[in-house]
Structure 1
Amino acid sequence: MQLTRFTDLGLRIVMRLAVEQPGDRPGSKDIAEQLAISYTHAAKVIARLSELGIVDARRGRGGGLAITELGRTASIGWLARRLEGESEVIECDGSNPCPLRTSCLLRPALRRAREAFFASLDELLIEDVTSQPTRGVLLTLPAMPSRLPTVKTMIGE
């Protein structure tokens, strides 16, 4: 089973926000840069996390991102299910449908395997995957070079 990139980014964003100090609200661009992902993609993921009630996203002065209580207490399995959606592990009904689809035993087996995968993640909370040594790495993620001071800003131009 492989998670989509969208789910992967969602989990990483939630992990990053889980280690913030209370009251700190990093911006979407900062999180995207720290996790080395495109801002556009991060914004889509953050919007979905906000819809799910996992992240509190505010605009403007005093805005930024913060993990919610639901984000802290929801299981990784619950969150991954919501980010992945209801798609099948294999596509049987597409533009070139599988001739076995009406009597296939593989599709329900894969559906059960997918649920077993998520069920194994139901045992984990965000805090379980953000303890040391991961926590230390998350807290020291550097800004990408585009956010570092330039020569012009360092000499006051």
Structure 2
Amino acid sequence: MKLSTKGRYGLRALIDLAQYSEEGPISITSISGRQDISERYLEQLMAKLKKAEIVKSVRGAGGGYVLAKPMREISVGDVLRALEGSLEPVECAGLEPGNSCSASDVCVTKYVWKRINESISQTVDEIKLEQLVQESRKKQCTAGRRAKVECRN
């Protein structure tokens, strides 16, 4: 499985949003500047995240984006599925109900694909946005970048 820039940049943008939106909505321009991602691309990513009800937009002066729910309730899997679609690296007709695979009854490789798919889903669903924000803050404090980041020793 190889993630596209949609998943990689979208996750970075969402971590940034979660980290800085505690005081209010964050603009695309702010995220773009910190993450070095084009504003036009971020707009497309945020539209997908909004459709998936992961973020909300706030209109008007001082508007921007905020999380639609607490960051402890948003998994990496939620974000990646919203941006990438299915995360299954192998699509196997033998695993689908009412499948059209003629070898399904005797095929044993479908169990390999099933385990790989389940393992990926479990991993990305266990990692929450809150954990990534905490890790990001630690890294920024260690690197000495304390602007708008609360560092605790």
TM-score, normalization: structure 1?
A: 0.67
Q: How does 1:49-64 map to 2 (within 5 A)?
A: 49-64=49-64
Could you say which residue in structure 2 is the equivalent of 1:148? none
Q: How does 1:72-111 map to 2 (within 5 A)?
A: 72-86=72-86, 89=89, 103=103, 109-110=112-113
Runs of 4+ in 1 over 4 A off after TM superposition: 101-108
Unaligned 5+ runs, structure 2: 93-100, 148-153
What is the aligned counterpart of 1:125 among 123, 128, 131? 128
Residues in 2 aligned to 1:44 and 1:62: alpha-carbon distance in whole angstroms: 20
Structure possessing the higher relative contact order (Cα contacts under 8 Å, 6 or more residues apart): 1
Please identify, of 68-77 and 107-116, the stretch whose mean Cα deviation from structure 2 is larger. Answer: 107-116
How many residues are treated as equivalent by the alignment? 132
Structure 2: how far apart are the matches of 1:115 and 1:141?
A: 39
Higher helix share: 2
Change (3 A) 1:123 1:86: closer
Question: Deviations for 1:9-49, whole angstroms, at most 9, x for unmatched residues?
Answer: 12111111111253322211221121111111111001111
Give ranges in structure 1 of 5+ residues lacking alignment: 93-100, 143-157
Aligned counterparts of 1:16 and 1:87: Cα–Cα separation in 2 = 23
